Structure 1
């Protein structure tokens, strides 16, 4: 794969002296001691602003570096009767709020007090949710507050040995708060300040010193894991691929991201809590990276690097060579065969399948529809042997004993080839009819097995037709305007990404595309319908080409799928798969791609 600008794999060799670099605040993290926090608490008439509950009191304390900078407190007239049980709980009565400002005045005053602060609350979704609700009602822009939830942090830090629960009252006792929470807003905010500082003390002992570390902290991430944050410091904020290596230079894990530094930093925080990833980080000695022009290029490079290195901590895409195909042979009496590679033999192929089981399921659906022979021997044009069991069962036309002539058998093979490459209706109708009969007899398990066979066939046929359409094109050049306003351009040859780039601002678009095409990788077609890349790579390219707002710049060859092809049957099987996923544990779910065609427009 080529790009207009050069790209390298970079790393810091062990023992090398690093130059001092000025890091941004985002890279360093913002120390907790330097930030101003506004700790807020509300009293309300009920539990849901959306259902009509109102705010009756706002209390807030502004702190920085352990010092109180100011306090804010106001009762709020809810313009409705306060329920008696709320008055008993909070001590706030209707007469107390009668002369108080409404939320239309109290909210702007609070937002002015909290401006520029990190917002803190105990069970923050409740308090912040109320404030956001009334800001929206007043058509008032909500400031982009960063929010810290002391209840959420406490659940990660406090054990049952420390406190029976993470209620504010329990935590206030644990940390010896000077103010006892009493369901009045300012008192509860003061108690929350002491709880916040108590949590800071607990977290500081395990190396949490910045807001970024606080927001992503998890007890499941070890101190040793957090100490390796420096491995991400040399990575750019750019799309690309990262490679974790151990002290023997072995690649442990390959991943991709739109923002390399942010993603790799997450491995040392609560953003990445998978146990196997924790084990991988403990073994990691350095992180290399390949900066890419576009996210698609990063995804493709990730697949290629995984296939090359086969890292032990990558679970998917390590063995793209382990694929299965169904082959319709070219011989006097053709048959279907399960194979692991495609040859230049003019045969027709269906696939690839990611598992042998899926291929066998699809093969069963085809044999049920088309009674071609299933024996593996090569037959002469005029065979003379006894019929097999399948022939006696009516599941084979039995060319071996002369039960069928060449012309009739050839006609059946033409129907089979048409189902594989263009129109799957015969298979769909046959299996659906069989499923209906089984369901009518209440043989639902057998009907389900036929449904799975049909789904395997439809998906395989659709995949073959989609991949084959792109593979047959010597070159496809496409562009899409990205979020930053620049145009991402990709050159695809025989289904393989040959070049990727982003048109610089102010640069002549056509000249840039011409330069990118000239520098693109030379790609030779693979045997038969197979892409000149892994099927997974070509499918990623297809998803990008079929995404919204892609513009085709140049197409060499013909890129088209059959109108009556298998893709039109996918919606039914996607719906069935979705319903089955909803009844399946989340860990076992697998997403299924949908198919869309891009609009063809001219590049401006």
Structure 2
């Protein structure tokens, strides 16, 4: 009979671990075992001491029947004999009691990898889910705090002597756990003098960092523990780096600890003179403000700081015989944004082929004719070419209208034509050609869906929405023409509608333009769209409906995903063949 894993206790949340060390509950544990392998050996004794604020608030100690004889060497070391454990409870009875005793605390052990390894193996044996304990190793902490001159050895007996522990280790679980408590408190006194006062600070402290990097911890001292944007400033007040955080103080503090390993960031921290910040209501507002500040400052240590300027658009030219032109600026009926010019060119070429848009760069006047010297499309010429009869501007306008309708999502006939061609090629067993057309079609679908999704948000003059906040209450946003105009929080127990009214009254005035996203940055609209798609979002008010076009690319997404899966499978197969 199988049993579902039991869930034991509630673990500390990340914010709770930022509380002072004196208010954090620790359970110091020590084990005695039949040997050194968690898989081959078993626990013979558990001793644990629960402490908070320097006070002992509970102890647990018990022998454990390992279900086997104890080797003579272990008996000599611990004094625990096979006869002593014969009447003791088995680990199946002991482990749940220990997990209940330790629930919600930080586990501490001397050489924690050894002790937690045996406890995890026991949990697996008992079919009990091992909680995601935060673990602190006093061996690792001692090596970080003490010099080798002061402590040549970090064995528990050596540290207990160094700190004059009230209990000396005896290789019995409870005695060793009590000795570890005294060592832990002595180590806490040392790190407290270096500005480490919470468990999260202690975790950051453990890896070694340069004295210069650690000396700048004071730059984070005055920051609030709220969501927002932070700006590292250099010697000339220039913005070096901009980022977002759900807890500004904790995030910025990490840059001055061993958790920051990126060489560029260490270089940036060395140059930083101060850290400015902008408090935000929630993560969406922080993300939007970060984007705007990146555009305004283009800080040198942000890799994506110039992203909005790198976007490409495929726009239909304003002439009697329009064609696609690749530009940095979006115009009405443009398709984009694309991260690279090559991607924009490939998608534009596919749409041109199936809508009949010319691909030559000649300028043709209204009185001219199109196709005069063009070879037929069948031999690689322009898809808009026609030898007999020649196209007039009025006739050619139908092709441009097809492209505009495809981009707007009012007619997906070109996508049906692409799929029909793929099927014809497959029926003719021209599978490689079919795959190439399939890949091009998938790229078109994904580009169209991206734009149409963003346009659905940007086309609404004013949209007010709410999302449940993690801590209770509601996150609120006011979006005008694709831009975040106002953001706030209605805390738990606060009526949200008066807050909505205040946010709407104080929201920014937005003047849209004629571009597809009405002047909003694509990345900003994308952040808003993802927020609106998240679970629990409610539309409070909207000047227009929030919707995507009925004949848009959204209905083709499933097909495009299948095509991408096929590409991945083919790539994996090719890689396998290369390896073989």
Separation in 2 of the partners of 1:324 and 1:565? Answer: 21
Q: Does residue 505 of structure 2 align to residue 514 of structure 1?
A: no
Q: Please tell me whether the aligned partners of residues 45 and 56 of structure 1 are also in contact (alpha carbons under 8 angstroms).
A: no
SS of aligned partner of 1:290: strand
Residue in structure 2 matched with residue 129 of structure 1 by the alignment: 120
Identify which range, 465-474 or 182-191, moves more after superposition.
182-191
Superposed CA offset, 1:459-496 (max 9, x none)? 21011111112222111111122123222221111101
Residue in structure 2 matched with residue 393 of structure 1 by the alignment: 379
| Residues 89-238 of structure 1 mapped to structure 2, 5 A cutoff | 90-91=74-75, 95-103=83-91, 106=94, 118-121=106-109, 122-123=112-113, 125-127=116-118, 129=120, 146-150=134-138, 172=155, 185=173, 211-217=199-205, 219=207, 221-238=209-226
| Residues 2-151 of structure 1 mapped to structure 2, 5 A cutoff | 30=21, 38-41=28-31, 43=33, 55-60=43-48, 73-77=61-65, 81-82=67-68, 87=71, 90-91=74-75, 95-103=83-91, 106=94, 118-121=106-109, 122-123=112-113, 125-127=116-118, 129=120, 146-150=134-138
Q: Does residue 485 of structure 2 align to residue 498 of structure 1?
A: yes
Q: Please tell me whether the aligned partners of residues 299 and 305 of structure 2 are also in contact (alpha carbons under 8 angstroms).
A: no
Identify which range, 543-552 or 376-385, moves more after superposition.
376-385
The partner residue of 1:280 within 253, 263, 268 is: 268
Displacement of 1:361 after TM fit? Answer: 2.4
Displacement of 1:297 after TM fit? Answer: 1.1
Q: Please tell me whether the aligned partners of residues 349 and 359 of structure 2 are also in contact (alpha carbons under 8 angstroms).
A: no
Superposed CA offset, 1:335-381 (max 9, x none)? 222122134xxx52111112212212212322443442111222134
- Equivalent pairs counted in the alignment come to 540
SS of aligned partner of 2:484: strand
Separation in 2 of the partners of 1:204 and 1:575? Answer: 57
Q: Please tell me whether the aligned partners of residues 460 and 545 of structure 2 are also in contact (alpha carbons under 8 angstroms).
A: yes
Distance 1:185 1:401, change over 3 A: same
Superposed CA offset, 1:384-440 (max 9, x none)? 775245757244245586654346534433333332221546347527845995999
Displacement of 1:289 after TM fit? Answer: 0.8
**Length-normalised TM-score, structure 2:** 0.75
| Residues 87-486 of structure 1 mapped to structure 2, 5 A cutoff | 87=71, 90-91=74-75, 95-103=83-91, 106=94, 118-121=106-109, 122-123=112-113, 125-127=116-118, 129=120, 146-150=134-138, 172=155, 185=173, 211-217=199-205, 219=207, 221-343=209-331, 347-380=332-365, 381-383=367-369, 386-388=372-374, 391=377, 393-397=379-383, 399=385, 403-406=389-392, 409-422=396-409, 423-424=411-412, 426-427=414-415, 430=418, 433-434=421-422, 437=425, 450=437, 452-486=439-473
SS of aligned partner of 1:327: strand
Distance 1:194 1:514, change over 3 A: closer
**Length-normalised TM-score, structure 1:** 0.73
Higher relative contact order (CA 8 A, sep 6+): 1
Separation in 1 of the partners of 2:158 and 2:564? Answer: 51
The partner residue of 2:520 within 533, 542, 549 is: 533
CA RMSD of aligned residues (A): 5.0
Q: Which runs of 5+ in 2 are unaligned?
A: 1-14, 162-166, 572-580
Distance 1:334 1:316, change over 3 A: same
Q: Please tell me whether the aligned partners of residues 313 and 329 of structure 2 are also in contact (alpha carbons under 8 angstroms).
A: yes
Identify which range, 499-508 or 279-288, moves more after superposition.
499-508
SS of aligned partner of 2:447: helix
Displacement of 1:290 after TM fit? Answer: 0.8
SS of aligned partner of 2:136: strand
Q: Please tell me whether the aligned partners of residues 241 and 255 of structure 1 are also in contact (alpha carbons under 8 angstroms).
A: yes
